[in-house]
A and B are shown apart, each in its own frame.
Chain A
């Protein structure tokens, strides 16, 4: 490995520019050398079982690929990401305005994100005509978890009450819609939606009452138990819920009475377009998009209202809240009920999308995933939940389709098998790198002059963390 002798381009370019490139090149070569040495044994060798013992096989292509990736990646990082720190004074005036523009940048990114989510199904249909259904399905799944995350964020992120049984409200919403629609012909998705939300909110109150006096670990245990009780009741109340067989034949949502099917009176024939099964998925996507949007708007508004401030104050210091005349019991109950209501909405959407539900869908792991989304995103942060949901749900789905990894790890490598392992590793890395989640700052709800974001070290995490 020839590391030391590298010819640096010189001539018309300024001295600073030249030394910067030289630095970058040398650093990249060193990194590539190290990678080559380290990966020589890990990637370069492969042992196969052969008659009479093991045989060693060299994998030069994989090894060279790894070294080249490290070299190019390091070079690019040096030039465009790390590069600024080397050239000293020349970039300093540049970086200051960048930092000032950053909040603005964040705002524009959010808007771009929103527009992208708005047109996503059409992007999928236009650019990936063969796989559009798969993409829209994943988008629906992610959006469902975004909504659940936002709902749980009210309880855990704002009010600071650790709830390990959130899936119970998801289940209540799903079963409410399933039972109502299968028992009463006239109840469709849009009529059942508010009813399911109300029922879930009612169960939120039922759960809220016993846990009012509990704190910390005890609160977490009781909510965990509540989630399990709901699931076990659904499993064993055979006459009412169908037990482990679940409920099937749940009606699909209609577009102002128009069904997504072939023939007369359907969505396609009404608008005079050829029938395609993708229409229903696009419609489902927009339903969950709308529901999630409502969840977000209501939460953001509530946060800036007295009740939202009381939730956050409760998270900061419950005793101080009581000394200021805030009824902490009612405040906690509203947090539980409103969080549960959004879980109920998401549950009935889940039921109508699947067409079939059973207690299997509402196990503890669902609660854990939703809670992980909230914690990973940063407690109390709305955009953090979105990012975390994309990483967690989108990430696990994306790992199913990593065919190119077989080029590196050999044809026997199946990424699906390592899905949860890689996923767990990613979570550990993220929590080491950002222990308070992706978005760690809190934005004040009101300001006299300017809103300054508050660092996570000052914000309390509430009970049970």
Chain B
């Protein structure tokens, strides 16, 4: 996997290579003739916050759905690991044996592409949230969190028989479950609303509740699909703190996010997708100065366009002030000067979108929010000829 790496320091191996909790290898997902994800490989480090970014339609959510079992990938291997290290031998053994997973003491290897979605959550310890919030709206906040602890509680209730008889062991298990729920309600600042129906909560609180609910499943890896979408700056900031807290408890986080403020601030590792292939992979600094990333987000035709002052201004708006600090001395030479990173070259693609006008970009510099990436595909077709 190391060939796809842009290591900030070639001597030390980054955490996501040395101790990955999840590796995605040669993942391909086709819908009929459309290749949504093509031969994608990346690793998620244990205890890291990993961000998966890219323009709209880049295939991020498809990758998520493959990892969490909602889609069966067309090709590829997705390995989830419990316990430290790459465990290469165990992975190969499980792959060859045709099993779905294998546990050895506190080590465990799970081949997610072979497992159904509910097993991925229950056994492999991968929890997820959804881009469009999916709460149990007619149930209270507390009930939502108890449903998340279903599997443990079912066993404790003696598959309902002990529960119907009202055995004390079940009551104990339930009060433990409520305690855990209360813990996460405190963390997400929802304790006051515990007895309110989830559908009545304001939007930001629903987002937090969905994260709390996912955490109640005790996951090893938490996958968040655009957790900051629709949040105001204060709520985004609270979300950052919550994610830091979750990481501090030893849960790895994989998130899709458009809000660069969130991504750049908290991510240990960023993977950039465009048209279903990886165009950059590394820590925040290396990704934000990567010309391919900038090109993908701004829709510039090629890197020379960065010479144009208006385009540079847009780049600054999109990727933040620090980026230009890096770029300032010799704008283009620096990233290009690096030993050509063996980033998988995007295949020849329809260039229509790519021709998004570089100069007209500044013309519409009324561009939405500074931190919000622009979406070349949506806007490009209308303003042809500006170049």
Assess whether B136 is in contact with A446, with CB atoms less than 8 Å apart.
Answer: no
Indicate which residue in A309, A315, A326, A444 contacts B151 across the interface (CB closer than 8 Å).
A326
Assess whether B143 is in contact with A320, with CB atoms less than 8 Å apart.
Answer: no
Residues of chain B contacted by A321 (CB below 8 angstroms): 118, 147
A interface, how many residues as a size bin?
35 or more
Assess whether A312 is in contact with B139, with CB atoms less than 8 Å apart.
Answer: yes
Q: Is A324 positioned at the interface, with any CB of B under 8 Å from its CB?
A: yes
Q: Is B160 positioned at the interface, with any CB of A under 8 Å from its CB?
A: yes
A302 to B163, CA, bound (A): 8
Residues of chain B contacted by A213 (CB below 8 angstroms): none
Stretch at the interface among B36-44, B122-130, B305-313: B122-130
Q: With A323-B127, A448-B142, A448-B182 in contact, do A460 and B137 touch (Cβ < 8 Å)?
A: yes
Indicate which residue in A310, A450, A459 contacts B147 across the interface (CB closer than 8 Å).
A310
Q: With A325-B150, A445-B143 in contact, do A450 and B117 touch (Cβ < 8 Å)?
A: no
Assess whether A449 is in contact with B195, with CB atoms less than 8 Å apart.
Answer: yes
Assess whether A458 is in contact with B199, with CB atoms less than 8 Å apart.
Answer: yes
A321 to B148, CA, bound (A): 8
Assess whether A451 is in contact with B195, with CB atoms less than 8 Å apart.
Answer: yes
Residues of chain B contacted by A328 (CB below 8 angstroms): 118
Q: Is B121 positioned at the interface, with any CB of A under 8 Å from its CB?
A: yes
In this complex, what residue of B is CB-closest to A304?
B163
A182 to B198, CA, bound (A): 54
Q: With A302-B160, A313-B147 in contact, do A323 and B142 touch (Cβ < 8 Å)?
A: no
Q: With A323-B130, A324-B213, A326-B150 in contact, do A459 and B138 touch (Cβ < 8 Å)?
A: yes
Assess whether B138 is in contact with A442, with CB atoms less than 8 Å apart.
Answer: yes
Interface digits, B129-159 against A, CB 8 Å rule (1 contact, 0 not)? 0100011111110110011111101100101
Interface centre among B136, B143, B197, B214 (most CB of A within 10 A): B136
Residues of chain A contacted by B178 (CB below 8 angstroms): 446, 448
CB distance from A161 to the nearest CB of B (A): 16
Assess whether B136 is in contact with A316, with CB atoms less than 8 Å apart.
Answer: yes
A169 to B39, CA, bound (A): 51
Q: Is B164 positioned at the interface, with any CB of A under 8 Å from its CB?
A: yes
Assess whether B143 is in contact with A306, with CB atoms less than 8 Å apart.
Answer: no
In this complex, what residue of B is CB-closest to A459?
B138
**14 sampled A-B residue pairs with Cβ under 8 A:** A302-B163, A305-B170, A306-B146, A306-B149, A310-B150, A317-B136, A320-B134, A320-B136, A323-B121, A324-B213, A444-B143, A444-B195, A447-B194, A454-B140
- Contacts from B to A (Cβ < 8 Å): 68, 70, 117-123, 127-128, 130, 134-140, 142-143, 146-151, 153-154, 157, 159-160, 163-164, 166, 170, 174, 178, 182, 194-197, 199-200, 213-214, 217
Known A-B contacts: A325-B123, A326-B147, A327-B122. Give 15 more (CB < 8 A). A301-B164, A306-B150, A306-B154, A306-B157, A306-B160, A312-B143, A313-B136, A319-B130, A322-B70, A326-B150, A446-B178, A447-B194, A451-B195, A458-B200, A460-B138
